Amino acid sequence: MIDPAWVSGLAAILFIIGLWGALSRKNAIVVLMCIELMLNAVNLQFVAAATHWGDVNGWVYAVFAIAIAAAEVAIGLAIFLSMYNQHETISLDEVNLLKN
């Protein structure tokens, strides 16, 4: 069995990659994917921690987190769609009518 520490490390790396991606990419879809990456890191972490503690709750948390992520994707894509309809772009940098 893999030491949960390694998994946590992986989760951390995933999270950082996700975060980095979220703040460096312009494409909304890619950003959404990066957010998913962050959530995946969370899942991994939960699972690893559940293993570490031998606690069933962790797995439940992970399942719930997956569900949340799924809902988020659905909603996100819908919103992006409407953005695309209006702005005809999915580049986050070009959508800045509202500011100041």
Partner 1 sequence: MKPEECNEIGMNCTEAFSTEFWTAISPELVMVIGLVALFIIPNLGNSKFRIPLTKLKIPWFLGGKRFAITGSPAIPGMLATATIFATLGMMAIDIIDGSVKTTTITSGDSILFKIDAFSRFFEILFLVAVLLASMATLDRIPAHTFKGKKSMDEMYDNRRQADLYILLLTTAIGMCLVALAQDLFVLFVGLELASLSTYILVAFHKESKSGAESGVKYFIVGSVASGIGLYGLSLMYLEFGTLQLSALRDAWSGTSTLGIIALGLVLVGFGFKVSAAPFHFAAPDAYAGANSPVAGVLATASKAMGMIGLIRVLVVITLPDSSGTLSEESAIWLYAIATLSVITMTWGNIAALGSTNPKRMLAYSSVAHAGYMLAALSAVGAWRWGEIDAPVDYAQAIVAAVLFHLFVLVAFKLGAFLVLGMLEMEGGASRLSALSGLARRDPLIGTAMFIFMLALAGVPPLAGFMSKFLVIAGIVSTSVGTVWVDGSVSFSDLHWVWWLALAMFLNSAISVFYYLRIGVVMFLDIPEEGRRKPLPYGASIRMAIWICLVATVILGLSSDTLIDMCYRAAESLDWD
Partner 2 sequence: MSESGIIDYAVLIPLLPMLAFPVILFLGRIFNGTPTWVKNLKEGGIIALTVMGASLLLALAVIKEHMNSIGATNVFTWFETHWWEVDGALTDRVFGVGIYIDHLTVMLLFVAAFLCFLINIFSIGYMNTDPINDNRNHRFYAEFVLFCSGMLGMVLADSFLWLFIFWELMGLCSYLLIGFYYERPSAAYAAKKAFLTTRVGDVFLVIGLAMLWNMFGSLDYAVVFDPVEIAKVSSSELQIALGMMFIGAVGKSAQFPLHVWLPDAMEGPTPVSALIHAATMVNAGLYLVARMFPFFQAADIGSLSTLAIIIACIGGITAVMAALIAFVQMDLKKVLAYSTMSQLAYIFTGLGCALWFANNGYEELATFALGASLFHLFNHAMAKGMLFMASGSVIHEMHHAHHEVAHHEHDDDHHDDHHDDHHDDFDAQSMANMGGLANKMPITATAMFVGSMSIIGIPFIGGFWSKEGIIASAWKVALKEPVFLFPAMLVLIGAGMTGFYMSRMWFMTFAGKPKTDVAKHVHEQTPWIPIPLVVLTFMTLSAFILAGMHAGAWLGDYQSGHYSNFFSGVGEELQYVFLNDDPFLMVLTYVTIGLSFILGPSFAMALYGGSLDDDDEAKPWMQWAIDLSARVNKNSNFDNSAWANSSLAYSLEKRLHFDDWYDAAMLKIVVGFAYISAKFDKNVIDGVIKTIESTSQAASAKLRTLTTGSARDYIMMTALGTLAIFLLLWGVA
Total residues in contact with partner 1, by rule CB under 8 A: 49
Does 92 contact partner 2 by CB under 8 A?
yes
The CA dihedral of 25, 97, 70, 3, to the nearest 10 degrees, is: 40
Nearer to partner 2, 69 or 92 (CB): 92
23 forms part of the interface with partner 2 (CB under 8 A): yes
Q: Are 85 and 77 in contact (CB under 8 A)?
A: no
Q: How many Cα atoms are found within 13 Å in the side-chain-facing hemisphere of 73? A: 15
Q: How many CA atoms, within 13 angstroms, populate the side-chain half-sphere of residue 25?
A: 16
By CB under 8 A, is residue 98 in contact with partner 2? yes
Look at residue 3 and give the partner it binds from partner 1, partner 2, none, a contact being a CB closer than 5 to 8 Å depending on partner kind: none
The CA–CA distances, whole Å, from 38 to 1, 35, 68 equal 24, 5, 12
What residues line the site for partner 1 (CB under 8 A)? 4, 8, 11, 15, 18-19, 22-23, 28, 31-32, 35, 38-39, 41-42, 45-46, 48-50, 52-53, 55, 57-58, 61, 64-65, 68, 71-72, 75-76, 78-80, 82-83, 85-87, 92, 95-100
